[in-house]
Amino acid sequence: MKEAGTALSLLLLLGALVAAAQNASGPSLASGVFTAAQAKRGDDAYQASCSGCHGSNLRATDPEAVDLTGPGFQAKWNGKTLGERFETIRDTMPLGNGNSLGDKTYMDILAFILQFNEFPPGNQELVPETAKQIVFVRKS
């Protein structure tokens, strides 16, 4: 019985090590997962389609909207993939007219939100497939 517990412990440890290695080799927010040009396009699209409720500075001006910056924002997004955030934004925004801007524009807006929250740009644009692999980790 003791040997089975030891074997299980070793398997769990091995699984954790493999998962950590996979996460370490994948893209991360700290390494830059969008481009500055993409974030600029996102800023333009955000100001045109989102700022009326979420504010030009990502602080909600509408009581029904949420802030897209600050500790509350980071806590809500923490641990979720950028793919999940993209799908939520795409499917629900603008309010009452979700999925109306096109995937590229929603990705650009997501890039702008990330850049506004002081995540660095990189040299490749953020796309839906890559976004599925990137977990949002709260800045310390």
pLDDT tens per residue across span 98-125: 999 999 999 999 999 999 999 999 999 9
User: What is the per-residue pLDDT across 60-81, written as a single tens digit (0 to 9) for each?
Assistant: 999 999 999 999 999 999 999 9
Backbone angles phi, psi at 81, to 5 degrees: -80, 155
Cα separation, 51 vs 132, in Å, equals: 26
Q: What pLDDT does residue 26 have? A: 74
Residue 90 vs residue 140, higher pLDDT: 90
Dist. CA 25–CA 28, nearest whole Å: 9
**Least confidently predicted of 7-21, 31-45, 82-96:** 7-21
Show Cβ contacts of residue 24 under 8 Å, excluding neighbours closer than 6 positions: none
Q: Are 112 and 35 in contact (CB under 8 A)?
A: no
